[in-house]
Structure 1
């Protein structure tokens, strides 16, 4: 490492500009944790004197609103405060919320004379600080960050005007991300509406007419279910061949599947003879998680909770099945297994849905695929923006790039 770097000084977090300060969080802020409110003290609707109870589930829209009556002011936050999770998913940082915060959170009160709120938010969310938070919280089943460890974290502070300039620049990227997220949301809502119309025949594409007919999946496609070789036989799993991709439902995260968490050995293929699924085949989950769809991006194998679908192309296109089968599964008479709902092979054969003639099927599928491609491209653009912002944060929050009079300096 260099012993000197003109215009910079060496700190615990590396080189920073000479006019920046090396502080600790204890120098710029105080924190207090929230309160665990018993369930029987939480209100389901607003009454005078009550405030919203802020939990991770509430912030993620996973839980209905709950209210706390006459809370102590020490566990209340307003839009100027910063909240950060201190247990579980440590380091999630939120702001601009009002209410009573759960004891999983720290409320961060910062010195306005030393730090700009938007800059502090960016600093807390930076890759380096997020890593420090996770390390200090520990690697136990439920990580837990205490006050002392939080206060010990180094804060490299530019002059306040520069903090504001950095925050303003980063906010333009945040706005671009938000705008792209909103476009994605609008596209997905439009797709949902059009699917409801097009896949039921309520709306027809131009040039098509004629009656839609009910058909069953077994009447228009051949179905082949996967297999899990015995876990007891180590020879099937100990020497896996990466070419022998073996898909489980947890691998079905993308539209097209190219890889899996586990692979089968060549011995497993030879002795167990699982059904090989050819590249381009449509797959559907039918146990526990029902109606999850994907395409085989390579030749592969699946477990017994996934069916490979080989359509009679004169009667049905798998491109339409990709969109129509999840709805058919939702309406099916799925049985209840120990771990959740499941379809047996008879249910699969008898899955019923309405479909038009083959040419209209292809036109509907093509129409919906175009929307999907638009959504995929927007998500790629958003990922690119996020990556660029991350790189910009890295150089701005360490002083490798400076903003003076809205210009960079190296």
Structure 2
């Protein structure tokens, strides 16, 4: 496990590195269920992350950027409680204050960590707090599983419906193979001068790779004025699909979104404006469903950027049903998206509840057992 695997309160094992079987890491770095680890070196914003190991993998070790914290059992009832306590907002702020170094390379040293205070209620209350927060965390985990399953269902449904392998009731007949260039008009965007203040901070969303992260595109953290659009960008009409055609993200994923409100966009993005043969939502879903094929068309430019060449995109083959079937397929996939969105919102609300519980329970504002005067102890790694 490395610093990239440690999140606030938990480990992320979606991307891990392995060692050869004949390489034996130090036994002292072997992870055991219940171990609490702290990230001692990272960027200034991320250093000090704390997580508990819950046997996410059958065998794992941690590297030198992580430190195992061991607690005095006479004072700390469980590592579960310690993990929650060290991930409270007050503890996160205190840990960050201990970091020394630059914005890009910061460290927390043991001598400073040993003096870290946090409120420590009686052990019975620690256990009650840990149990209550663990229950909410369990619900969050269950919701994560549901979201992942629903996304897998959506992906499988796209593979079936967007290829004609499975037909919705009431539809038959062959699909027509057409080149993408026959079905859409390609528009190029741009970036106006950064030095002209009058071009920026307007009301028109300006889409780049960083804001092309949702299926529906209608807002951005960066906006242009009308003057800025005229000087160096371009508007994308409602119903167009914005597609990232240049950027490092193209080495791993296809970013495409349906414009639902007029936006402008930069030079790394193309707007694909469908003609009368295409249902707009169908095109966006189709590009998502064909992501693997599109990724194989990506070439490299410079050290990091991937490129989807416009000529290649125009020749990309689309299997096209009649518009009523396009609309029905789009409606089916939109329904699945709505279910995913509902689950994600439920998870967000549950996460907010957990954060509120942590704020109340880990500060003593709300007590779960008979109140006893809390003490301030020192965590001893």
TM-score (norm 1): 0.78
Please list the CA deviations of residues 292-339 of structure 1 after superposition, one character each: whole Å capped at 9, or x if unmatched.
Answer: 1123343221011212222123x1111111111245464354433223
Moved more, 88-97 or 165-174: 88-97
Aligned residues of 2:192 and 2:231 also touching (Cα < 8 A): no
Aligned residues of 1:334 and 1:347 also touching (Cα < 8 A): no
Higher normalized strand content (fraction of residues): 1
Give 2:51's aligned residue. 93
Gaps of 5+ in 1: 1-53
Give 2:180's aligned residue. 217
Change in 2 beyond 3 A, CA 1:329/1:165: closer
1:61 and 2:19 are equivalent in the alignment: no
Gaps of 5+ in 2: 6-11, 372-381
Query: Which residue among 277, 289, 308 is the counterpart of 2:236?
Result: 277
Q: How far apart, in 2, do the equivalents of 1:185 and 1:330 lie?
A: 19
1:268 and 2:222 are equivalent in the alignment: no
Give 1:123's aligned residue. 85
Alpha-carbon shift at residue 266 of structure 1 (Å): 4.5
Aligned residues of 1:328 and 1:351 also touching (Cα < 8 A): no
Aligned length: 348
Instruction: Give RMSD over aligned pairs.
Output: 2.3
TM-score (norm 2): 0.84
Moved more, 90-99 or 197-206: 90-99
Change in 2 beyond 3 A, CA 1:131/1:280: farther
Q: How far apart, in 2, do the equivalents of 1:330 and 1:157 lie?
A: 51
Q: Which has the higher contact order (CA 8 A, sep 6+)?
A: 2
Which has the greater radius of gyration?
Answer: 1
Query: Which residue among 155, 165, 168 is the counterpart of 1:192?
Result: 155
Q: How far apart, in 2, do the equivalents of 1:129 and 1:308 lie?
A: 46
Secondary structure of the corresponding residue to residue 325 of structure 2: helix
Give 1:368's aligned residue. 333
1:150 and 2:104 are equivalent in the alignment: no
Moved more, 346-355 or 187-196: 346-355
Give 2:33's aligned residue. 79
Alignment of 1:6-405 (within 5 A): 54-56=1-3, 59-66=12-19, 69-88=23-42, 89-90=46-47, 91-97=49-55, 99-116=60-77, 117-138=79-100, 140-231=103-194, 234-235=195-196, 237=197, 240-272=200-232, 274-288=233-247, 289-290=249-250, 291-313=254-276, 315-328=277-290, 330-332=292-294, 333-338=297-302, 339-404=304-369
Q: How far apart, in 2, do the equivalents of 1:246 and 1:219 lie?
A: 27
Secondary structure of the corresponding residue to residue 200 of structure 2: coil
Q: How far apart, in 1, do the equivalents of 2:291 and 2:142 lie?
A: 34
Change in 2 beyond 3 A, CA 1:243/1:57: closer
